Amino acid sequence: MSCRPKWGICKMNQDLIQYLLRLGDSALIQGQRLCEWCGRAPALEEELALMNVGLDLVGQARNWLEYAAELANDGRDADHLAFRRDERAYRNLLLVEQPNGDFAVTVLKQFFYDAWHLAVLEGLTHSSDSRLQGIAAKAVKEVTYHLRRSSEWVERLGDGTEESHQRMLAAIPQLWRFTVELSDSDAVEQRLHAAGLIGDPQQIAAAWQQQVERTFDSATLPLPAPACHFYLSGRQGLHSEHLGLLLAEMQFLPRAYPDATW
């Protein structure tokens, strides 16, 4: 991979590895949360749909983590990154680690994530890095479906029965504060954008906001004021109490039998 004269290859790799971990960890944790609905979904069709979305995200996570492992070149592979890191080493969005709650919470969380995810992937399809571009081009097809499905559910529940509307109203304050990371960027993303590796963070934030506004309007749901920053940060490994519990379950077998083969 080439680099600009004022930006050393090591620093560029470090930034790109961090960004790949953010994408991979977020997809992996969201996929794990969706798989928790197995046997508990409100209808068989929804269980199959949730599992399919979850499997899509796990597959995308593998692609991002494999690339991160290759760049790090420290002996770890995608499985090691997924199952052998501790909580503070994860870089996923705070949103995706939150519990599923009822179906309204799950649907709204998926929608917030999908709207951001699609905008990020569309930006990556124009990356100067052919590997990023290729992974994103495949994932865009899957996430386009994910967003269509989750936005339709938000509209269906928000503008449905009185009970479904009230459940959506209750879900918004549970999740909204975590959306601050979906419309914010840091120095890592700004440097990667300047190098032509990722999309414009400001355009991604604007696309996310517009999608949320359109969907909430159709769903007859009130749009809250922009979320404020607070002390937690998934980018920095400062997570909520929920991630540790999720990882304890997800990582149990790989940690208990680290050299097992199937």
**115-163 pLDDT tens trace:** 999 999 999 999 999 999 999 999 999 999 999 999 999 999 999 999 9
Task: Give the residue-averaged pLDDT of 55-68.
Answer: 98
Instruction: Categorize the per-residue pLDDT at 43 as very low, low, confident or very high, splitting at 50, 70 and 90.
Output: confident
Q: Which domains does the chain have, with CATH numbers?
A: 9-256 (1.20.1260.10)
Please give the residue that has the higher pLDDT: either 1 or 246: 246
Predicted pLDDT of residue 9:
59
State the average pLDDT for the chain.
94
Quick check: 53 pLDDT over 70?
yes
Lowest mean pLDDT among 5-14, 99-108, 158-167: 5-14
- Answer whether residue 111 shows pLDDT above 70: yes
Mean pLDDT of 19-46: 93
| The residue count for the chain | 262
Query: How far apart are alpha carbons 110 and 255 in whole angstroms?
Result: 29
Look at residue 191 and tell me whether its pLDDT is greater than 80: yes
Alpha-carbon distance of 107 to 168, in angstroms, equals 9
Tell me the average pLDDT across 226-250: 93
Higher-pLDDT residue of 228 and 26 is 26
Phi and psi torsions of 183, nearest 5°: -120, 15
Question: What pLDDT, in 10s, does the model give residues 194-236?
Answer: 999 999 999 999 999 999 999 999 999 999 999 988 889 999 9
Q: Cα 164 vs. chain centroid, distance in angstroms?
A: 25
pLDDT classification of 5: cutoffs 50, 70, 90: very low
238 forms beta bridges with 233
CA 9 from centroid of its chain's CA atoms: 27
Q: What is the dihedral of CA 44, 49, 55, 56, to 10 degrees?
A: 170
Give the mean model confidence (pLDDT) for residues 174-195: 96
pLDDT grade for 104, boundaries at 50, 70 and 90: very high
Whether residue 4 has pLDDT greater than 70: no
Helix, strand, coil fractions of the chain, as percent rounded to 5: 70, 0, 30
- Rounded Cα distance between 250 and 86, Å, is 12
pTM: 0.94
Report pLDDT for 8.
53
Amino acid, single-letter form, for residue 252: F
* Distance of alpha carbon 117 from alpha carbon 115, whole angstroms: 6
